Structure 1
Amino acid sequence: MSPLAIDPIVTLDADALSRAIHARKMSCREVMQAYLTHIDRFNPAVNALVSLRPQDVLLREADECDRQLDRGESRGWMHGMPQAIKDLAATAGLRTTLGSPLFANQVPQHDAISVARVRDCGAIIIGKSNVPEFGLGSQTYNSVFGTTSNAYDPSLIAGGSSGGAAVALALRLLPVADGSDMMGSLRNPAAFNNVFGFRPSQGRVPHGPMPEVFVQQLATEGPMGRTVTDVARLLSTQAGYDPRVPLSLADEPRDFGLDLQQDCSGLRLGWLGDYNGYLPMEDGVLSLCESALADFSALGCHVEACQPDFSMERLWQSWLIHRHFLVQGSLGAAYADPQKRALLKPEAQWEIEGGLRLTAAEVYQASVARSEWYRALSELFERYDFLLLPTAQVFPFDAQQAWPRVVGGRTMDTYHRWMEVVIGPTLAGLPSISVPVGFNPAGLPMGLQIIGPAQADRAVLQLAYAHEQLTRWVERRPPACLQSA
């Protein structure tokens, strides 16, 4: 292998890597060494992975994984695989900053539930993936580690808040990645980096443990991958009931890792588009997604335009109230301290101040609106098996820009209005996966959301898998730096 070649180990998808490790075609040490070398080479240009652990320690852990296999012991399908955890999730003994100077030196004593499950499945935690401060905003930058840039153009944004995870996947710095999603944080960066990001049904992956376990019903953790099979396998590890999260779902998590092949002929798909012109879109986004509808038709699906019977502006106001309420609840104590408040980014302060102005009646009415939105989508699912929607309203933009002030000729009135397209599945608690649908003339990727009915996670994965087998965008168009290496 020449000095500039890519080690074939890192090009393997996670499922194939797992099978190769367990077949002893390669050792866990060889896998770890290949990934560490690849990370040293490509991570500095994009800043996707942070808080990396010492290489000698990681190699010793890989050696122990090999000794376990020598004894006929495997801890699970992720045995010996490198994994970096999103820097919002607690990792025992490893710095977890939340992208905030307030927590720059925080070292938790426990793992988040999903982290513990990945560790128990045999993964070796190598570090963290970078995030925006507290995960607020779909642009991955913070004052602790700096900005994560796009895998396809390092001058552009990675998306967020799972931006570090998506870029690491696209550049083959990780075989599979975890993330979390409140406002498209698994879906948006997946679209911007030509990988898959799946927001599971609310409660599918226990979120926490958190101080509050009943009201928080927007954010969820979930999987990302370069294949739908990898996404499903990681979901099978993350999912499942935990008594510390009383609203978590008790379905058998192993079902998600089963064969995803399905005949899609006759499936009815509803195309939401830009909600009849309600959402502003950058030129080329809508047309690219619309051209991808032909792929679903080629699978034998029937696709037609449809709209929910609901005011989208009312949905946005419900979103603002829910988000203000929850962010103020989690960060209000820091805001109350003037010294700590000064270290919060302006968008975090704006959310908290909005929460402080809310009345109980406003919060309740926002929840009523959210409930009516769920029922409006349920009515659509009486006619359609799945709904389709663009993943983003813009293509990746300049990484020096915090957020776009104008989209499609319309001024954005908040730091996150440009991502309004993702709030529908979040507020309804529905499973939604972003699948790659191609590139614009400038070579920038885009994704499309496949949204399923409540708790139809496996069905969403099956349609995404069929689309992947037809289009193969991830393997057809890897980042240029990998093509030329």
Structure 2
Amino acid sequence: MDITGREAGDLLAMLERREISAQELMRATLERIAASNGALNAIVDLRDEEVLMQEARAADDAPMRGALHGLPMAVKDLANVGGLPTSQGSPLFAGQVAQADDLHVARMRAAGAIFIGKTNTPEFGLGSHTFNPVHGVTRNPYNAARSCGGSSGGAAVALAAGMLSLADGSDMMGSLRNPAGWCNVYGMRPSWSLVPSEPRADTFLHQLSTNGPMARSPRDMARLLAVMAGPDPRQPHGMPVPDLSDIRPEAKGARIGWLGDWGGDWPFEAGILDLSEEALRVFEGLGARVEPVKPPFSRVALWQSWVTLRHWAVSANLSPLLESGRLKPEAIWEVEEGQRLSALKVHKASVIRSGWFAAAARLFETYDALVLPTAQVWPFPADWTYPKEINGQQMDTYHRWMEVVVPASLAGLPAVAVPAGFGAGGLPMGIQLIGRRGDDARLLELAQAYHEATLWPTKRPPVLS
């Protein structure tokens, strides 16, 4: 029985009923990694097999102690796992071993997860293409010559290739959503502050990035989100955890607004909007009402606000490393632009963000979810750094081609990336379901209904065929 393609919920139920052992699951996981990771490079810093089998044996000998008991997991290499290296994809930190777990990692460990290693990420998580000078390039499982997206690219590839059944990721500018779309799996950016970050440095102001779950089904994402979520008394922000224990497929009567290309303002490669509209017809078949929505806010204002606040946040994090001379050009640009900002310019950007949040709230008086594609281009060649143009329109930054993810990120709204199917070249694409703040469970119900109607992640990549 090939258990590596099973959903996490199925595996955990089988473990609880003793139909399989944690040792059997670990052995199957390591065999799958041995068979496919060499070509894809999703899992890095894999731990010693004998040690992992000992931990699996200990899980078999212990009573079920949490929602992830006995489940092999690998953590995105931006987060600390005590005893494992955290390189962040940078030569500055290569080989440095973390002394303790980050908060969300500690919560997963307490729930019984067995950490087998890390998942690859771009250097410092910058850019939606997973490559770095420490661990190399992670490749798309549907075409190894193409990018898998990022920055949670290693996690998405490991899920698609059966190396993991659940994975954590993080999302500032689509890092949970774009790789999910490009690897035919699910990724969720939760409502901002539902999953707290590690309480280091500033905890009041930089409200852009969040940790979140990835999986091969929305119901599995709910399982991991329930473990990761919950206020941290050391941090000023937080929100109540919704009931994630019973995510039922429910789309009938849902009102969905299709934002498309933002009234023609965003360029898209051919076929992406058509495929997204095909996915929306699945929702219509499930009893939802889908309507086109005119651009509800200025594209220019959104982008101005976004790049200003991103410069500010990235610069605050990486400025101490600038003099090392070992940052990639995109990181240097972010830091230097951030250092040029005035307090008033940051304030003006935040005022724009506040206006967009209010405009989105008005839309959610009519709609249960807003929909956008997960990317504006198909997976591009893995030897590129980033796309320089879309349909002849030049990209003026290394991340302009990901402008489509900004609306959810800027307002801190929950967004679930669901697979939309495959283009003419056999490459995957996804759509984002974006909800009002706090509607995380409702979005997961919509996504689960779509999942059960399509089962896209069961279309296995060539590495498993």
Quote the residue 1:334 is aligned against. 321
- Kindly indicate whether residue 166 of structure 2 is the aligned counterpart of residue 176 of structure 1: yes
Q: The residue matched to 1:293 in structure 2 has which SS?
A: helix
Question: Separation in 1 of the partners of 2:206 and 2:102?
Answer: 16
Q: Is it true that 1:258 corresponds to 2:246 in the alignment?
A: yes
Q: For the residues of structure 2 that align with 1:34 and 1:368, how far apart are their CA atoms?
A: 52
For 2:449, the equivalent position in structure 1 comes to 466
Deviation of residue 194 (structure 1)? 0.1
CA distance in structure 2 between the aligned counterparts of 1:57 and 1:323, rounded to whole angstroms: 41
Aligned to 2:149: 159
Per-residue CA distance 1:46-90 (angstroms, 9 max, x = gap): 10000111111101111111111xxxx111121111100000011
Cα shift readout 1:153-208 (whole Å, capped 9, x = no counterpart): 11100100000000000000001110000000000000000000000000111111
1:194 to 176, 181, 184: 184
Residue aligning to 2:297: 310
- Spell out, residue by residue over 1:228-271, the C-alpha distance to the aligned partner (whole angstroms, 9 max, x if none): 1111101111111111222022335xx21323233x22221110
1:4 alignment counterpart: none
1:366 Cα deviation from its structure 2 partner: 0.2
CA–CA distance in 1 between the matches of 2:52 and 2:314? 36
1:422 Cα offset (Å): 0.2
Shift, 1:365, TM fit: 0.1
- Deviation, structure 1 residue 391: 0.8
1:35-184 → structure 2 map (5 Å cutoff): 35-68=29-62, 73-184=63-174
Q: Deviations over 1:263-297 (max 9, x none)?
A: x2222111000001111101111111112221111
| Separation (CA, whole Å) in 1 of partners of 2:421 and 2:227 | 29
Shift in alpha-carbon separation, 1:259–1:314, aligned structure 2, 3 A: closer
Distance 2:6 2:206 in 1: 37
C-alpha deviation, 1:408, in angstroms: 2.0
Q: TM-score, normalised by structure 2?
A: 0.99
**In structure 2, distance between residues paired with 1:27 and 1:386:** 40
Partner of 1:368: 351
**Does structure 2 conserve the Cα–Cα contact (< 8 Å) formed by 1:308 and 1:377?**
no
Q: Aligned partners of 2:31, 2:277: CA distance in 1, in Å?
A: 40
Mapped to 2, the partners of 1:247 and 1:16 lie a distance apart of 34
Q: Distance in 1 between matches of 2:13 and 2:254?
A: 33
Matched, 1:20 2:14: yes
CA distance in 2, matches of 1:444, 1:455: 33
Note the aligned Cα RMSD (angstroms). Answer: 1.0
1:426 is matched with 409
- Which secondary structure does the structure 2 equivalent of 1:102 belong to? coil
State the partner residue of 1:479: 461
Aligned-partner Cα distance in 2 for 1:31–1:295: 34
1:437 matched residue in structure 2: 420
Find the aligned partners of 1:302 and 1:25 in 2 and give their Cα distance: 42
Distance 1:459 1:214, change over 3 A: same
Distance 1:469 1:41 in 2: 29
Q: CA separation in 2, counterparts of 1:168 and 1:48?
A: 6
Q: Which amino acid aligns with 2:7?
A: D
Instruction: Please state if 1:248 is matched with 2:238.
Output: yes
Alignment length (residue pairs): 465
Aligned to 1:385: 368
Aligned partner of residue 154 in structure 1, secondary structure? strand
For 2:406 and 2:247, the matched residues in 1 are separated by 30
1:101-158 deviation per Cα after TM superposition (whole angstroms, max 9, x unaligned): 1111221211111100110111100000000000000000000000000011111001
Task: Select which of 336, 343, 352 maps to 1:353.
Answer: 336
User: How far is 1:26 from its partner?
Assistant: 1.1
Once the 2 structures are TM-superposed, how far is the Cα of residue 383 of structure 1 from its aligned partner? 1.6
Which consecutive residues of structure 1, in runs of 5 or more, have no partner in the other structure?
Answer: 1-6
Gaps of 5+ in 2: none
Moved over 3 A (4+): none
Asked if 1:210 corresponds to 2:192, the answer is no
Q: Are positions 1:293 and 2:280 aligned together?
A: yes
Alignment CA distance shift 1:103-1:469 (3 Å) = same
CA contact (8 A) 1:223 1:235 kept: yes
Q: Please state whether the residue corresponding to 2:421 is helix, strand or coil.
A: strand
* Aligned partner of residue 3 in structure 2, secondary structure: helix
Deviates more, 1:320-329 or 1:466-475: 466-475
Among candidates 243, 268, 271, match of residue 281 of structure 1: 268
Give the residue type in structure 2 aligned to 1:286.
L
Contact 1:308 1:376 in 2 (8 A): no
1:403 and 2:386 correspond: yes
Q: Matched residues in 1 for 2:463 and 2:296: separation? A: 46
In the TM superposition, what is the alpha-carbon distance from 1:306 to its structure 2 partner? 0.6
Q: Deviations over 1:29-58 (max 9, x none)?
A: 111111111101100101000011111110
Report if the CA contact (8 A) 2:120-2:130 is conserved.
yes
Which is further off, 197-206 or 293-302? 293-302
Q: Which amino acid aligns with 1:478?
A: R
8 A contact 1:292–1:437 mirrored in 2: yes
Q: Distance in 2 between matches of 1:81 and 1:465?
A: 22
TM-score by length of 1: 0.94
Partner secondary structure for residue 357 of structure 2: helix
* 1:282 counterpart letter in structure 2: E
Question: 2-side partners of 1:259 and 1:392: how far apart?
Answer: 27
Name the SS for the 2:244 alignment partner. helix
Q: How far apart are residue 27 of structure 1 and its match? A: 1.1
Match for residue 24 of structure 2? 30
Name the structure 1 match of 2:220. 230
The answer on whether the counterparts of 1:208 and 1:245 sit within 8 Å (CA) in structure 2 is no
